[in-house]
Amino acid sequence: MPCIIPRNPSGPSWWPSPEHRTNRLCSKGMKPLLALCLLFFLSLSVTAQSLPEYRWTSRVLVLFAPDLDDPLFLKQRALLADASEELRERDVVVLMATPQGDHENTGLFMPESSSEYFYDYFGAEPYQLELALVGLDGSEKFRAKNQVTPVSVLLRLIDSMPLRARELRRGYGNKTSINAKDPTPDIPDGRKH
């Protein structure tokens, strides 16, 4: 259906009427976009209800923040933000939690129910900075308390894990790492044995 802009007697001839603007928002072309935006914003508020959701798909780095103004938290968060590309290459999901699920409306922190789950699961102290790294297999690989952990320590640890070594051999997520060829030969039909 062609877009016809009717004249609006209360404004310039090129300005669409209020009815036309409303109809354009409800047109077929805008509904998928509206649904996509709604889905995106809903996904921000339902961050990870439990750790098993990430098993075999992502490594999880949980940052327990005592307070948003805590200097250690601010420094650790900045270091993680600066290394976001390296963390993404290694399939690391960074989750942040506060003791009572405060600040969940920012989209950066887990909601209260998820915060409670992670605090209980890891036995994290409510009012100190803690960082926990969970591997693809769901087991805890590293824990730091009341200190800023350099991202290089986390990256070296992840790169030393057997599953990461296999990813590197197969060429997954190795933009900044060794690009070794998978030693498994190709079968003529394209499969590997």
pLDDT of residue 174: 59
Residue length of the chain: 193
| 131: Cβ contacts below 8 Å, ≥ 6 apart | 61, 62, 63, 64, 76, 142, 143, 144, 149
Render pLDDT for 16-60 as a digit per residue (tens, 0 to 9): 555 554 454 445 555 554 444 433 333 333 344 578 999 999 999
pLDDT of residue 173: 65
End-to-end CA distance of the chain: 54
Instruction: List, in order of start, the domains of the chain with CATH numbers.
Output: 51-170 (3.40.30.10)
Would you state the structure tokens that stand for residue 5, as one six-digit string?
């802009």
Render pLDDT for 77-90 as a digit per residue (tens, 0 to 9): 999 999 999 999 99
pLDDT of residue 171: 86
Average pLDDT estimate for 159-176: 84
pLDDT of residue 118: 93
Average pLDDT estimate for 117-144: 95
Question: How confident is residue 129, by pLDDT bands cut at 50, 70 and 90?
Answer: very high
Q: What is the mean pLDDT of the chain?
A: 76
